[in-house]
A and B are shown apart, each in its own frame.
Chain A
């Protein structure tokens, strides 16, 4: 009896490998799942979501801008804290007080 060539033998073995018997069912389930996903998110929902996100971004930018425009740093710099406690008062000599 002639011995099978190793290449032919390997190919024969690989050809004899059977796919999973549920392969077709898996594919059908994936297709059905993809269809349901498409059905469950209609166009108006996607548009509403996109509009909502745009509104949030716009609002964030507006609030950020208004905060910078009404900043308090300039006011803080204008406070003259020399008037809080006049240290010069304690430096006066007795003779100066009387004048």
Chain B
């Protein structure tokens, strides 16, 4: 069943159709949110909120863009809103993960180095300008083509290409002193 058919079913009151739609898109939404928040628990909470918002506002979906484009827009906006309202909490969480990571393959020192490297990379991604970050996450976590990213962000393909280029340059600049190119 196509997305359009499912949406018609849902607006007619068929909740089973909404379950099907969620099963179809939950991984995409979760992965995108992971790109923004990097924490499984937070990503799950936001994914749930995204689908509840979709259910509540599905009647406003006009079908002018693809459903997945509309869904990605909601996902990106809700992830950014979450980050804006939980800045302090996230600093504490990132420190917490630094001390709670355990791996049997690595020595404690290697573990700590690896956790610190992850923290630096996450911080570099998180401190990218908002549009560069959106384009980078949709491209690298979701592997969306530039055309699709342009539709989600309401920008031209050329603008997205530039954003991606700048994002990669910025990441290299931020990480080059500590992490190899």
**Chain A interfacial positions (CB closer than 8 Å to B):** 5-7, 10-11, 14-15, 17, 19-20, 23-24, 26-28, 30-32
Contact = CB atoms under 8 A, between A and B. Distances in A.
B179 A6 contact: yes
A26 B48 contact: yes
A28 B26 CA distance: 13
Contacts of B140: 11
Contacts of B51: 27
A19 B47 contact: yes
Contacts of B48: 23, 26-27, 30
28 contacts: A6-B117, A6-B175, A7-B171, A7-B179, A10-B118, A10-B121, A10-B122, A14-B31, A14-B34, A14-B35, A14-B38, A14-B141, A15-B34, A19-B27, A19-B44, A23-B26, A23-B30, A23-B47, A23-B48, A24-B26, A27-B22, A27-B48, A27-B55, A28-B15, A28-B19, A30-B48, A30-B52, A31-B55
Chain B contact residues, majority secondary structure: helix
Interface residues of B, number: 30
A19 B121 contact: no
Interface of B: 15, 18-19, 22-23, 26-27, 30-31, 34-35, 38, 40, 43-44, 47-48, 51-52, 55, 117-118, 121-122, 140-141, 171, 175, 179-180
Nearest to B40: A17
B52 A27 contact: yes
Given A17-B30, A24-B23, A31-B15, 10 more contacts: A6-B180, A7-B121, A7-B179, A11-B141, A15-B31, A19-B43, A26-B48, A28-B18, A31-B55, A32-B15
